[in-house]
Amino acid sequence: MTQQWSAPTAAGPVHATVPVPGSKSITNRTLVLAALADRPSTVRTPLRSRDTTLMAAALQSLGVGFADGPDGSWLVTPDALQGPAQVDCGLAGTVMRFLPPAAALAVGDITFDGDPHARKRPMSTILDALRALGADVAGDALPFTLHGKGGVPGGEVTIDASASSQFVSGLLLSGARYESGVTVRHSGKPVPSLPHIEMTVTMLREAGVVVDDSTRDVWRVEPGAVEGRDWHVEPDLSNATPFLAAAAVTGGEVTIPGWPEVTTQPGGAVRDLFERMGCTVTLTDAGLTLRGPDRLTGVDVDLRDESELTPTVAALAALASGPTRIRGVAHIRGHETDRIAALAAEINRLGGAAEETEDGLVITPRPLRGDVWRAYADHRMATAGAIIGLVVEGVSVDDIGSTTKTIPDFPGMWATMLGSR
């Protein structure tokens, strides 16, 4: 059910410290690794949002044990995966692409389905790859059924991962449990969001898995155990960007505590992006602090590796003092919605000038007016509307509830931020 929300306009420069929940990308990778491990794991400071609770529920339906720790952690106890099971993917790419390679290790039938738009998201790449590795899969998109045989032969597979890096990560996360491991070769246009694959490789190695990524576009996971361990989930840096953007568009100052000095999250690149647009960014023991300029500067930027930042950058660009060109993000047409078309439509709806290109957007600032900003059931579209609403009166987001995908209470956090001085 959609929930229309009047985006609050800031009364002046925003000054706040905003703790953000854990990373969705790290949490869901951790849950898969914990489910396949050789002993129980503790997942500390996990994100508990729609995407991650869908992942936890799916793993529980396959026989994995979950218990709540006293500090908000998840205690995950692996077990032999068993069907039959029904998996609800919602609109979570990490569930629909990370879980099938793991579920192929189960015994029994596992059926996957999700939200209506999820049925339109590309899936044939991962399903064809599983067939090539020895799994029995009926279907090429949601809904589909895995006929689990208790194991997967594995081996080498060549895929075109130019639509999503999740296809590679999904195969790598479970590859150590395949009889021959897995070697994934990419053939096609460049893989987008490579930092997410680097995150997967790093986490596999932390779990004791041997991974060879020394050859470009080839990843080899050796067969072997996945070690249970104590995992700590970093704050979600991509989810932090709308709050940092609040300081950028109002000339204020926002601090995100717990920002890691070194990270595999693509959201870490936001520091450079904000600086290029005229902001001042500092990292101290207190966290990452952004100070907004008098006027934002337009940029020409390639976001292929950080494409999830596109909606935030587009919102900033619509409020900047000069034009912005966003390149390298053609693949985000296959995300929760066609984000390129959606951003152009909504910026233009408010009186802006946004033009779609083959691989991105050109945004020329114009005075904006209040109107309904459509979220298209996409959490990052919703937060982009909230950013614009800070300085444009009368903006309302038609589905703020979509933000629960990765932020449990975005409206509450937004209101708290605006109430801080």
Residue pLDDT, tens place only, 340-385? 999 999 999 999 999 999 999 999 999 999 999 999 999 999 999 9
Could you give the CA distance from residue 288 to residue 272 in angstroms, rounded to a whole number?
12
Domains 5-21+234-419 and 24-222 share a fold: yes
Hunting for tokens 């689990």 — which residue is that? 148
**pLDDT digit string, tens, across residues 24-43:** 999 999 999 999 999 999 99
Could you give the CA distance from residue 395 to residue 376 in angstroms, rounded to a whole number?
16
Check whether domain 5-21+234-419 has CATH 3.65.10.10, yes or no: yes
What are the boundaries of each domain within the chain? 5-21+234-419, 24-222
Q: Centre a 10 Å sphere on the Cβ of residue 175 and count the other Cβ atoms it contains.
A: 28
Distant-in-sequence, close-in-space partners of 251: CB < 8 Å, separation ≥ 6:
13, 292, 293, 294
Is 164 among the annotated ligand-binding positions? yes
Supply the residues annotated as catalytic. Answer: 308
Hunting for tokens 């002046």 — which residue is that? 12
pLDDT for res 335: 83
Is 385 among the annotated ligand-binding positions? no
Helix (H) or strand (E) segment spanning residue 125: helix 124-132
Structure-block tokens of residue 321: 């003092």
Is 41 among the annotated ligand-binding positions? no
Torsions phi, psi for 153 (to 5 deg): -60, -40
Structure-block tokens of residue 79: 């077990």
Could you give the CA distance from residue 355 to residue 51 in angstroms, rounded to a whole number?
31
Check whether domain 24-222 has CATH 3.65.10.10, yes or no: yes
Structure-block tokens of residue 273: 């992006």
Q: Which of 223, 385, 244 is nearest to 314 (CA)?
A: 385
Asked if 359 contacts 329 with a C-beta cutoff of 8 angstroms, the reply is yes
Is 189 among the annotated ligand-binding positions? no
Q: Centre a 10 Å sphere on the Cβ of residue 367 and count the other Cβ atoms it contains.
A: 8
3-state secondary structure of 148: strand
Torsions phi, psi for 214 (to 5 deg): -75, -20
pLDDT for res 1: 53
Asked if 92 contacts 50 with a C-beta cutoff of 8 angstroms, the reply is yes
Whether pLDDT at 195 is above 70: yes
Is 149 among the annotated ligand-binding positions? no
Q: Which of 270, 201, 239, 198 is nearest to 49 (CA)?
A: 239
Could you give the CA distance from residue 98 to residue 308 in angstroms, rounded to a whole number?
18
Is 166 among the annotated ligand-binding positions? yes
Instruction: Return left, alpha or beta for 247; rule: phi > 0 is left, psi -120 to 50 is alpha, else beta.
Output: alpha
Whether pLDDT at 173 is above 80: yes
* Bond from prior residue into 84 cis (ω within 30 degrees of 0): yes
**pLDDT digit string, tens, across residues 81-118:** 999 999 999 999 999 999 999 999 999 999 999 999 89
Strands 211-212 and 218-221: antiparallel
Asked if 163 contacts 331 with a C-beta cutoff of 8 angstroms, the reply is yes
Whether pLDDT at 421 is above 50: no
